[in-house]
Amino acid sequence: MAANMYRVGDYVYFENSSSNPYLIRRIEELNKTANGNVEAKVVCLFRRRDISGNLNTLADSNAREFEEESKQPALSEQQKHQLKHRELFLSRQFESLPATHIRGKCNVTLLNETDVLAGYLEKEDCFFYSLVFDPVQKTLLADQGEIRVGSKYQAEIPDKLTEDEVDTRVQEKMETKVWDPSNQLKDAQIDQFLVVARAVGTFARALDCSSSIRQPSLHMSAAAASRDITLFHAMDTLQKNNYDLARAMSTLVPQGGPVLCRDEMEEWSASEAMLFEEALEKYGKDFNDIRQDFLPWKSLASVVQFYYMWKTTDRYIQQKRLKAAEADSKLKQVYIPTYTKPNPNQIMMPGSKPGLNGATGFQKGLSCESCHTAQSPQWYAWGPPNMQCRLCASCWIYWKKYGGLKTPTQLEGAARAGSESGSRSHMTRQEVQGMSPFTRNEGRAKLLAKNRQTFILQTTKLTRIARRVCEDILQPRRAARRPYASINANAVKAECMIRLPKATKSPLKSKVIPRQSLATIVKDLAISAPLKLKASRGPPTPINRNQASQPRVAQSLLGKRGFESATGVPYPANGRPYTSGMRTTSQSVIKRQKVSQGEAPNPVVFVATKDTRALRKHLTQSEMRRAARKPHLLVRIKLPPPPRTLAMPLLPSSTSEPIVLED
């Protein structure tokens, strides 16, 4: 009964999704709605999986500093991994959730220097926090409500002086004496002087214009003059005048007029007091935030002094009574029965026949992704559906409570991707890659942008062997056509280890491909390298496809000229000539698109020489098509023999005989 009774101030688990981990919240209020349901106003606490990678790095550095300062015992890698699941981040974000979604209680404490981190792993449902997370600003800050416990916060007490030892410290530098109880005045004389000081304060407020407006009645002026600020001033005056009443009287009323002493209650206006009450309702006694967000023109000392003076007023008593009456009308506790409905992620129902490899629809040979066990009374689907991962009963409870797996694994981020992916039939390749379990949330946006950095994927020897031995399970051709679909590498490697002893008896057939030497390859490249001709400077190459006024044709050896440049008349794609009313591509009014620097291609221009254009004429149409489909192969051109020239008798260019012209 007590386990299912939830009160204000309890830390509880809330379930908002059947596959995601529980939400950890602190109950602030329990309200009953109009339809009879109970809603809980809760404070949000966040896990490490809920914040960005940069903030996780900041939290790691803070954890290292805490371990060094508190001298924590050494932890194993698995303990460090599990300890991150126990760390929470407090926030000031409130939300309302149905009380029927509560799934149990937990314990959340503020981390102190005296705590041992390994102790949190030994206790169930135990968490800690040391930083405050702001969901709006995306920042992590130290909790200002920390209790300063530890050796560095203790005072250093000096040794006690002996009877004959003299204290050599200068008392004037260490402290200031404000009152001497062994003075020559009697208590009655001191009381009479304080009455005179109050009367002087009342008269001073009557002379002051601003005070007379704020406190028009004599009773209010006398009450203000009777507060502590007037008494402190009177006692300081006695101390400064060496408890001489005559000199102290003259100090109270100098030649310029009576001295007026004001405290924070008189300095603050009514509107500032209303702002302070509103801020106190929102932030509580967090005076730094009250001053920063509501009263930035006030000092922190002024805000603190006003708070303690405000608590002595009737206004505070009235608000306290209203809050008490409001609290009486609200629920103090609520009973939530234990949730017994089956989880939709269950693979095998408890009534079915137990087995080692789960129910139908899942591949055989799968084990728990966390503890790698093959036997469990109950299995739960975990991660993306296409990966067919699962967890045993104990690891599923650990996942729901602590938001992670017991052992670190590459697929730990798969559950987040699986819960958000849904149907992938309508997604592009970039979007599917962004939902990959090996991709963090903050890196998904970068995948959609063009990345020009190169990377290498290097496989191990066992992976290369598994490709040959388990080719029927792996199906490399099908996997190459669907590169976004995940492959269960653990199942393939496990099957490979079973088949490997049998496969070694029958050697694999491998085709040896002879490779040429490096010198031969360099020589062939040097022979087939095109000549680098200096291209004439012309108009810049357009990047946008819409700029078709200058047709961008490939002018390589096998390039084809544009139809417009061949005929001189612009034609559309359907072959019909443009009419006078149609707009040509040179008259396009489409706005030029802005191309980013990362997506802009490098301009490459090939200029064909006269000899190259002459050689193209000796290629047939089939040879041109074959060369276009395989541009990496050399093109062999059979040149026709040169035309034979007829032997003509050579005549002398000049002769000494006369030329005779016959009519």
pLDDT in tens, 86-127: 999 999 899 999 999 999 999 999 888 888 898 999 999 999
Tokens (6 digits) for 159: 């040794």
Q: Are residues 29 and 134 in the same domain?
A: yes
75 and 200 in a single domain? The answer is no
The last residue of a domain, from among 142, 175, 205? 142
Place of tokens 């926090």: 129
249 close to 291: Cβ distance less than 8 angstroms: no
Q: Is 110 left (phi over 0), alpha (psi -120 to 50) or beta?
A: beta
Residue 378, number of CB atoms within 10 A of its CB:
17
Q: Do 255 and 282 reside in the same domain of the chain?
A: no
Q: What is the pLDDT of residues 269-278, one digit of tens each?
A: 888 888 998 9
Measured CA to CA, the distance from residue 570 to residue 563 in angstroms comes to 8
Using 50, 70 and 90 to split pLDDT, how confident is the model at 223?
low
Distance CA 211, CA 207 (A): 8
Q: Do 324 and 374 fall into the same domain?
A: no
**Parent domain of 50:** 5-142
- Residue 552 in domain: no
For 476, the token pair is 């490399």
* Cα dihedral: 145, 133, 290, 317 (round 10): -60
Is position 360 within any domain?
A: no
More confident of the two residues 230 and 308: 308
HEC string of 56-125 equals HHHHHHHHHHHHHHHCCCCCCHHHHHHHHHHEEEEEEEEEEEEHHHEEEEEEEEECCCCCCCHHHHHCCC
Q: Which of 20-24, 77-81, 140-144, 435-439 has the lowest mean pLDDT?
A: 435-439
Answer whether residue 389 is part of any domain: yes
- 453 occurs within a structural domain: no
> Does residue 607 sit within a domain?
no
First-to-last CA distance in the chain?
A: 146
Q: What pLDDT score was predicted for residue 218?
A: 57
CA 175/CA 160 separation, integer angstroms: 19
Residue with tokens 């012309």: 538
pLDDT on residue 127:
95
Write the CB contacts of 50 (distance below 8 Å, at least 6 apart in sequence).
89
Domain boundary among the residues 441, 473, 504 is at 504
For residue 46, is pLDDT > 90? yes
SS3 content of the chain, % helix, strand, coil (to 5): 40, 10, 50
572 pLDDT higher than 60: no
Pairwise CA distance, residues 452 & 185, whole Å: 89
Summarised one tens digit per residue, pLDDT across range 510-526 is 666 777 888 888 888 87
Contacts of 331 (CB under 8 A, 6+ apart): 30, 31, 32, 38
Chain-centre distance for alpha carbon 585: 47
Neighbours of 96 (CB within 10 A): 13
Q: Within this chain, do residues 323 and 380 fall inside the same structural domain, yes or no?
A: no
Short-list 559, 542, 558, CA closest to 550: 542
More confident call, 391 vs 362: 391
The first and second tokens of residue 208, run together, are: 């002051």
Q: Is position 609 within any domain? A: no
Pick from 40, 3, 652: nearest CA to 331: 40
Residues 104 and 135 in one domain: yes
Q: How many whole angstroms separate alpha carbon 444 and alpha carbon 313?
A: 57
DSSP 392: -
**Segment 578-612, tens digit of pLDDT:** 444 444 444 444 445 554 555 555 666 677 888 88
Are the CB atoms for 399 and 412 separated by under 8 Å? no
**Same structural domain, 294 and 208:** no
The answer to whether the beta carbons of residues 197 and 231 sit under 8 Å apart is: yes
Question: What token pair was written down for 12?
Answer: 């509880």
Domain termination site, one of 434, 469, 504:
504
Q: Band of the pLDDT at 148, cuts 50, 70, 90? A: low
Sequence-distant (6+) residues with CB within 8 A of 430 are 447, 448
Pick from 196, 168, 343: nearest CA to 258: 196
Would you say residue 345 lies in a domain? no
Q: Tens digit of pLDDT for each residue in 131-146?
A: 999 998 888 888 655 5
| Domain identity same for 138 and 22 | yes
517 located within any domain: no
Are residues 30 and 125 both part of a single domain? yes
Is residue 653 classed exposed, middle or buried when 0-12, 13-18 and 19+ CB atoms within 10 A define those classes? exposed
Please determine, for residue 556, whether its predicted confidence score (pLDDT) is greater than 60.
no
pLDDT of residue 224: 62
We report the CATH number of the domain holding residue 292 as 1.10.10.60
Q: What is the pLDDT of residue 356?
A: 39
Give yes or no: residues 123 and 218 share one domain.
no
Domain count, the chain: 5
**29 and 124 both lie in a single domain:** yes
Tokens of 210: 């601003």
Q: With bands split at pLDDT 50, 70 and 90, how would you rate the model's confidence at 503?
A: low
Mean pLDDT of 336-341: 88
Of the chain, the percentage scoring pLDDT greater than 90 comes to: 14
Segment 472-499 mean pLDDT: 83
pLDDT, residue 555, reads 42
| 310 shares a domain with 233 | no
Nearest to 273 by CA among 204, 214, 205: 214
Dihedral over Cα of 278, 282, 286, 288: its sign:
negative
394-450 pLDDT, tens digit each: 999 999 999 999 887 755 544 444 444 443 334 444 444 444 444 444 444 443 334
What CATH number corresponds to the domain at position 199? 4.10.1240.50
